[in-house]
Amino acid sequence: MAPTSPFALDGRLAMVTGAGSGIGRAIALGLAAAGADLILLSERDNLGPVAEEAGAAGAAVTTQLLDLADRSARSAVVERLLEAHAVDILVNNAGLIRRAPAAEFSDEDWYGVIEVNLHATFELCRAAGRRMVARGSGKIINVASMLSFQGGLLVPSYTASKHAIAGLTRALANEWAPHRVNVNAVAPGYVATATTAALRSDPARSSEILARIPAGRWAEPEDVAGAAVFLASPAADYVHGHVLAVDGGWLSR
């Protein structure tokens, strides 16, 4: 019999937040193509198409509507899901971005972004991580950003949250690596999703961004999926606390 691929995820169960569109959708389908079953979460009623496509690839799929900004609801729902299902892989993809000059940035936009991008991510890591540590195996993949490394423009809360995600990823890896739980992150570059629509519709800003990307194009969500599948797979068993840039060369420019 041929040896099992080190990238195969057969028999694994992955939970993916923000899975209805964009990067989350692409990661969910990449995991399904590698053999994983899925629990898909979204704040919007948009999981039907991705669940159908993943099911056609052979994945067993559970969907859950959940607003991660709702602190009490997310705790109850996540605990219920994790009690009912032994999750092997957690992908914290869901996130918010708000744009305004820092001097005019509202409290609502500051705290709202931090709530979803950081607080919810930590709580999901904690809930899944304690079970993975007890079991002695698991993979957690957080979605960071180029703004985990840089300051950006007009996005102070998003930048702060994504810097924090990089630090949280390393802190959890330090604690949980001895228990065979891998905590890593992917840091997408400029990806053609709804989050970057404002940048792509601004001719001057879009031109500036493209001029700095050695690959010469915006990423597609599928460009990020392969990195997430790698970090979820046995091929990455000795990778801990790494923030993997998928940026078309942006950071090396």
Catalytic center residues: 158
Q: d(Cα 223, Cα 236) in Å, to the nearest integer?
A: 18
Cβ count within 10 A of residue 203:
8
Q: Which of 253, 224, 22 is nearest to 150 (CA)?
A: 253
Q: d(Cα 168, Cα 184) in Å, to the nearest integer?
A: 10
Q: Residue 145 — φ and ψ, nearest 5°?
A: -170, 165
Residue 9: C-alpha distances to residues 89, 102, 183, 208, 240 (Å)? 10, 43, 17, 39, 18
Q: d(Cα 33, Cα 47) in Å, to the nearest integer?
A: 17
**Six token digits for residue 252:** 């090396």
